[in-house]
Amino acid sequence: MGKTMVEKILGAHAGRDVGVGENVDVVIDARLARDFGGANVVKNIRDNGLGINDPSKTFFTLDCNPGGSDQKYAANQQICRMFAREQGIKIFDVNRGIGTHVAIEEGLVGPGGTLVSTDSHANILGSIGAFGQGMGDLDVAHAFAYGRVWFKVPPSLKIVLKGKPGQKATAKDIVLAMAAKLGANGLLGYSAEITGDVVDSLGLAQRITISSMVTEMGGIIGLFPPNKAIMDYFESLGVACENVQPDPDASYDNTIEIDVEGLGPMISRPGHPDDAVPVTEVEGQKIDSVFIGSCTDGRYEDMLAAANILKGKKVAPGVVLKIVPATERVWKKCLDEGLIKIFNDSGALVGNPGCAGCAAGQIGQNGPGEVSVSTGNRNYPGKQGKGSVYLASPETAAASAIAGVISTSEKIPAQPVLFERKGEEEVQKVEKEAAGECPTMVEGRVWIVDKDNIDTDMIYHNRYLTITDIKLMGQYCFDNLEGFKDFAKEVKDGDIVITGKNFGCGSSRQQAVDCFKSLGVRALIAESFGAIYERNAINAAFPILIGELPKEGVENGDVISIDFTTGEVENKTKDKKFRINPFSEVQLEIYKRGGLLGGRC
């Protein structure tokens, strides 16, 4: 009996004929670890005393957070870099883009080859007729160390795209139609071979779009038999590859026909990639933002399609358009061909190459209540942020950005749809109920933080700046100050902090004041304060006082009282009294009314 494509590829890399359901050891031609998971791969290798099987086939791809804007990602990236230097492993750093796309561009693997990555969309390698698989840290560590991993040979389905799509249909529309037909688990556990008359006309970028979203239907991989253009490309790179085609008598569990005759633009409604409908069913939906990019639609052809619609037009007022090319090569071509200028002139924000919002590590995320159109592959709740995400083609996304509502290119209105004002109610001044004035004398246990120049990042690190609820801020107070990282766990409501010179230097962040209020700290005494910090504290009705207490006069754990109006400090534990600077007239007036805006006692 003949063989399917996946049986041929896995068999060739196992060194024998294989059949469905067999567990086989498979040689992996290219082994990739990203900044997402890469540090754990390194840890697994080090913890188990393993080496690297073949550095020339082993790679790091730092694509999830190319800007290193998150400290955890930045740390992981540096771990990968250091390990790569030690082992002689090539690293495609933050400037190179999405690792699986780079693997195709660089010819790390060609048709008939095998690749594993810590990327769940590594199956885009099916676009070139190769086997790619996203795997966990242990699997990829094993591949790094031994050059092979085990696979259970999957059964195959044949997907026949029947008919000729409409003139406005794209590869994204085709795969959304597939998802609507097959559902979220229609390809679960299967290798799909994608055929049909339309397949011959699909270029590499379009095949990548379809192969990528096989994951969203539960599939292991979606394989396209390589055409001449793809074979010629890899031969031009000098990559040894095999034009793997299924045998005429290959055995499939099922053949599924997807009717694409006359297909028009499609869109997935928020929450489920498979909840795909014609764009006409949701057109006119007001949107806040648009994202064009991802491993599904970040190729040059996708960028060009968007640019052709955006050229000479402007993004609708109030709508944010974010564009991220998949790789450095794509980005440079966009620059050379004038696409970056078109994007910029339209009002779009163009990011450096990478995964973007899909990985929560770069531009493309949305916030609560935000409605977005995205060319990504997933719109699960929380995947691309806390808003609602519609999935669509680059053409539909670009058209919607101009229209201000979900739209197709031929229905862009002459004038963009603007946001409606919710009403013109008069702004009313709300008088806060007086809860009594803030107390001008406090008593509490002393915390001595005997350091000068404690900056706001030591007090409240910038990685927490997105937090707006004061109740949640306290837990992070001093967690970046050496020697006091457990402060937030040990401090008690009513405690008083005494510290050195220039406390609160650095940034203007209000959280560096509010984190103390969150913990119930009653007051803070320092020899001097950073200028902005002093203003922030006074305006927030947080009692800060300037003065130097004798070191022998106050110790950790002593109970002291402070009179803000006189500056008198009494150590009730040692029965000693001292004086520091009292509140100024302005500070006292602001403090008594509960802060600059009131209500903060």
CB-CB contact of 539 with 595 (8 Å)? yes
Of 297, 315, 127, which is closest to residue 204 (Cα–Cα)?
127
Whole-Å CA distances, 81 to 29, 76, 331, 399: 21, 9, 23, 41
In whole angstroms, give the CA distance from residue 296 to residue 426: 47
pLDDT at 452: 95
Q: How far apart are CA 131 and CA 13, in angstroms?
A: 10
pLDDT, tens digit, 9 for 90 and up, residues 301-331 = 999 999 999 999 999 999 999 999 999 999 9
Summarize the confidence of residues 51-62 as an average pLDDT.
97
| The predicted structure's pLDDT at residue 423 | 55
pLDDT value of position 599: 77
Sheet of strand 114-117, all strands in order from the earlier edge strand to the far edge: 90-92, 58-61, 30-34, 114-117, 131-134
C-alpha 284/C-alpha 400 separation (Å) is 9
Chain centroid to Cα 209, Å, comes to 20
Question: Which two structure tokens, joined as six digits, stand for 153?
Answer: 């040979």
Q: Which of 18, 209, 213, 204 is nearest to 111 (CA)?
A: 204
Cβ-proximal residues to 584 (8 Å cutoff; 6+ apart), any chain: none
Secondary structure of 77-142 in the HEC alphabet?
HHHHHHHHHHHCCEEECCCCECHHHHHHHHCCCCCCCEEEECCCCHHHHHHHCCEEEECCHHHHHH
* 455 three-state secondary structure: strand
Domains and CATH numbers, the chain: 5-259 (3.30.499.10), 266-411 (3.30.499.10), 441-592 (3.20.19.10)
For residues 376 and 391, is the Cβ–Cβ distance under 8 A? Answer: yes
Q: What is the pLDDT of residue 414?
A: 96
Give dist(CA 491, CA 174) in Å, integer: 59
Per-residue pLDDT reduced to its tens digit, 534-559: 999 999 999 999 999 887 889 999 99
Q: Can you give the three-state secondary structure of 174-189, one letter per residue?
A: HHHHHHHHHCCCCCCC
Beta bridge partners of 246: none
Q: So what's the pLDDT on residue 68?
A: 67
Arithmetic mean of pLDDT, 370-391: 90
Distance CA 310, CA 94 (A): 28
Task: Tell the residue number behind the tokens 């100024």, with chain if given.
Answer: 584
**What is the C-alpha separation between 490 and 471, in angstroms, rounded?**
17
Query: In this model, does residue 425 exceed pLDDT 90?
Result: no
Half-sphere exposure of 17 (CA within 13 A, CB side): 4
Residue 420 confidence class, pLDDT cut points 50, 70, 90: confident
State both tokens at 259: 């009717």
Distance, in Å, from the CA atom of 491 to the CA atom of 547, rounded to the nearest integer, reads: 22
Is the model's pLDDT at 433 over the cut of 50? no
- Tokens 């229209």 locate to 403
- Longest Cα separation, the chain: 97
Q: For residue 380, what pLDDT band results from cuts at 50, 70 and 90?
A: confident
- Yes or no: say if 542 and 535 are a contact pair by the CB < 8 Å rule: no
What is the rounded CA–CA span in Å between residue 113 and residue 244? Answer: 10
Q: What is the pLDDT of residue 551?
A: 79
Residue 436 has pLDDT above 80, yes or no: no
Q: Decide if pLDDT at 243 tops 50.
A: yes
Residue 306, H or E segment: helix 300-310
Look at residue 9 and give its three-state secondary structure.
Answer: helix
Residue 61: beta bridge partners?
34, 92
Q: What is the DSSP letter of 510?
A: T
Mean pLDDT rounded to a whole number for the chain: 93
In the predicted structure, residue 432 carries a pLDDT above the cut 60: no
